[in-house]
Amino acid sequence: MDLWSRKDNVTYKWWTNHEVRFRSGVNLVGHSDEDQGIDNEICTIASAGVDSEGRQSATVSGLDQHEETFTVDEALEAIGFGKFQWKMSVVTGLSWVADAMEMMILSILAPQLHCEWKLPGYQVALITSVVFAGMGVGSPLWGNVSDTYGRKTGLTMSICWALTYGVLSSFAPVYGWLLFLRGLVGFGIGGVPQAVTLYSEFLPVKSRGTYVMLIAAFWAIGSVFEVLLALLIMPTLGWRWLLFFSSLPMAVFLCFCHWLPESPRFHLLTGKTGKAMETLARIAKDNGKPMPKGKLVGNQQNERGRIKDLFTPQYRKTTLLLWFIWFANAFSYFGIVLLTTELFQAGPLCTAIQGAKIEPSCSLECKYLTSSDYKDLLWTTLAEFPGILLILLAIDRIGRKKSLALCFFMFSLCILPLFACIGRLSVTICIFIARAFISGGFQVAFVYTPEVYPTETRALAMGTSSAVSRVGALITPFVAQVMLRQSVRATLSFYLIFCLLGGVASLLLPIETLGRVLQESCLDQEAGQQTGTTNQTNKTAHSSDQRLNIRKE
């Protein structure tokens, strides 16, 4: 009876190309051509890849079919979310705090240097843009490092880089040196999104969307902390000390990053199954849960982090749409952050709306941020928290695609009142709500992107998406800080149009990842899609047979 009750680990794969079959590592030696198939046949295998002792294995159905095996996803589901993931949330969250502070400081630093160094408008915008240019170059490179050498390695190296040049930038003697050093800071910060890649690979399917959003709370904390820090330091110590203290969260992260383990998915993909088992055992011990019985199995992949893998037929549309969504998100999010200080400094919005230029008569005239400006900036920054709460309620109910679209469309709706002649309080409220939705949308993109791509390209996908977003962030200072001084309505129109297009692009995404396990390779995606097609075909054929039998009777 035990033989009948025992569960077999059987995987069905649909081979559309005999070359793909051999690349996948499945051993069909000893089987006839009829068993192996040539094209468009389903092959049944008991387990494939690397066992828990580090040996390459692939047992065909019928051979050793009663041996128990499990995957990383099955192990994480059995272990669940617990103490280990909470600790990991805090450690990876520290890198997110550092990232948020480095971004938030841009809206505070620009007005200060505009006054202190007598900079014209385009040079002020360059202080912000050069950081995003560095991030745009760094993000795909750190993504490639993370796919090749490990997520922990890529994240730690990027934080070390950003910390070094963040501290050095506080000693910049002249404008040119400041631009150079802040660009290098941006290059390092480009690797911080790998914290989400690393963290998401330790989460069970059921709680992934909710708990990835937990990192977003650290972003909000970092943004609020930066404004409070500026309120205390800027009037007394100045911007150099603000730059120095803003780098400290990166130092704190480096003190604790030795605790972070490498992703078991990455270990499995690189053939280090023993290390993957050790990591899973560590998670189980911390969470007080037993490990699944049997051997850990998975596919070893030698070719990882290739840009062309993002443009295979099953991912091409997703990649292009996601890149535009990331671009629109960053363009709008950092635009509303910069617009906050610019609109507060501009005085009554009625004058600007009716055609007068915001720029004073002399291009070198300036206004320092007042305590009132900092307080209003703090209020709008606090919008990050309700934005996170809103998405937490929506992301696992209506799905990732609809959540993204909701955030884009609501941001556009909140921009509309700014076209009218409204007072400072109304401006603050509109910016508060708009920022809540666009920050929530940004976090949904961070949830969706690592879910939709397989392990072999996940870090690269995050890196390239982040790089494209930095292009939007690079452009937005020239809109929010330069174009705004010429026409408020033209500036607002840019943000309105891009967010409407972003909402449409979100709805056009071909894959909804709600409740979907993380794919280990592109072959899993292809097999899953084609198996689904086969099942649908079989169901249709079965229904036709039933209808035929009924007619005969």
Rounded (5°) CA angle 360-363-367 = 60
What single letter denotes the amino acid at residue 539?
K
Q: Residue 56 above 80 pLDDT?
A: no
pLDDT band at 367; cut points 50, 70, 90? low
Q: pLDDT for 3-23, tens place per residue? A: 344 444 433 333 333 333 333
Overall average pLDDT of the 504-512 stretch: 92
Torsion sign (Cα): 522, 528, 531, 533: negative
Strand partners, 56: 50
Q: pLDDT for 173-232, tens place per residue? A: 888 898 899 999 989 988 888 888 888 888 887 777 777 777 778 888 888 888 888 888
456 to 17, 143, 144, 315, 373: CA distances (angstroms): 20, 11, 10, 13, 46
pLDDT band at 104; cut points 50, 70, 90? confident
358-373 core/surface letters (b: 16 or more CB in 10 A; e: else): beeeeeeebeebeeeb
Q: Say if CB 305 and CB 459 are below 8 A apart.
A: yes
206 to 83, 87, 396: CA distances (angstroms): 17, 19, 9
Overall average pLDDT of the 287-304 stretch: 72
Q: Say if CB 45 and CB 61 are below 8 A apart.
A: yes
437 to 291, 391, 415, 492: CA distances (angstroms): 40, 8, 11, 16
What is residue 27's predicted lDDT score, i.e. its pLDDT?
39
Q: pLDDT for 37-50, tens place per residue? A: 333 333 333 334 44
Pick from 20-24, 343-347, 456-460: least confident = 20-24
Best-predicted range by mean pLDDT (196-200, 352-356, 507-511, 522-526): 507-511
Q: Residue 476 above 60 pLDDT?
A: yes
What is residue 185's predicted lDDT score, i.e. its pLDDT?
92
Overall average pLDDT of the 324-336 stretch: 90
User: Distance between CA 5 and CA 292 in Å, rounded?
Assistant: 18
pLDDT band at 306; cut points 50, 70, 90? confident
Overall average pLDDT of the 325-331 stretch: 92
What is residue 77's predicted lDDT score, i.e. its pLDDT?
82
33 to 24, 36, 38, 59: CA distances (angstroms): 18, 5, 8, 17
Overall average pLDDT of the 305-317 stretch: 81
Rounded (5°) CA angle 41-44-48 = 120
Pick from 142-146, 162-166, 400-404: least confident = 142-146
What is residue 549's predicted lDDT score, i.e. its pLDDT?
47
User: Distance between CA 117 and CA 114 in Å, rounded?
Assistant: 6
What is residue 504's predicted lDDT score, i.e. its pLDDT?
94
What is residue 160's predicted lDDT score, i.e. its pLDDT?
92
pLDDT: which is higher, 154 or 459: 154
User: Distance between CA 419 and CA 495 in Å, rounded?
Assistant: 12
Chain center to CA of 193: 6
Structural domains in the chain, CATH included, are: 69-301 (1.20.1250.20), 303-348+366-512 (1.20.1250.20)
What is residue 362's predicted lDDT score, i.e. its pLDDT?
41
What single letter denotes the amino acid at residue 34?
E
What is residue 74's predicted lDDT score, i.e. its pLDDT?
81
User: Distance between CA 288 and CA 280 in Å, rounded?
Assistant: 12
What is residue 304's predicted lDDT score, i.e. its pLDDT?
58
Q: Residue 101 above 80 pLDDT?
A: yes
Chain center to CA of 414: 25
Q: Residue 321 above 90 pLDDT?
A: yes
Pick from 27-41, 184-198, 501-515, 520-534: least confident = 27-41
Half-sphere exposure of 101 (CA within 13 A, CB side): 26
What is residue 291's predicted lDDT score, i.e. its pLDDT?
82
Q: Say if CB 127 and CB 106 are below 8 A apart.
A: yes
Q: Which two tokens stand for residue 428?
A: 């603050």
The DSSP H or E segment spanning 274 is helix 273-287
Q: Give the residue among 368, 319, 332 at the shortest CA–CA distance from 494.
A: 332
Q: Which two tokens stand for residue 205?
A: 């399917």
Q: Residue 418 above 80 pLDDT?
A: yes
The DSSP H or E segment spanning 50 is strand 41-50
pLDDT band at 374; cut points 50, 70, 90? confident
User: Distance between CA 159 and CA 217 in Å, rounded?
Assistant: 19
Best-predicted range by mean pLDDT (3-12, 276-285, 501-510): 501-510
User: Distance between CA 136 and CA 463 in Å, rounded?
Assistant: 9
Best-predicted range by mean pLDDT (6-15, 212-221, 342-351, 427-436): 427-436
Overall average pLDDT of the 384-412 stretch: 87
Per-residue 3-state assignment (H helix, E strand, C coil) for 282-342: HHHHHHCCCCCCCEECCCCCCCCCCHHHHHCCCCHHHHHHHHHHHHHHHHHHHHHHHHHHH
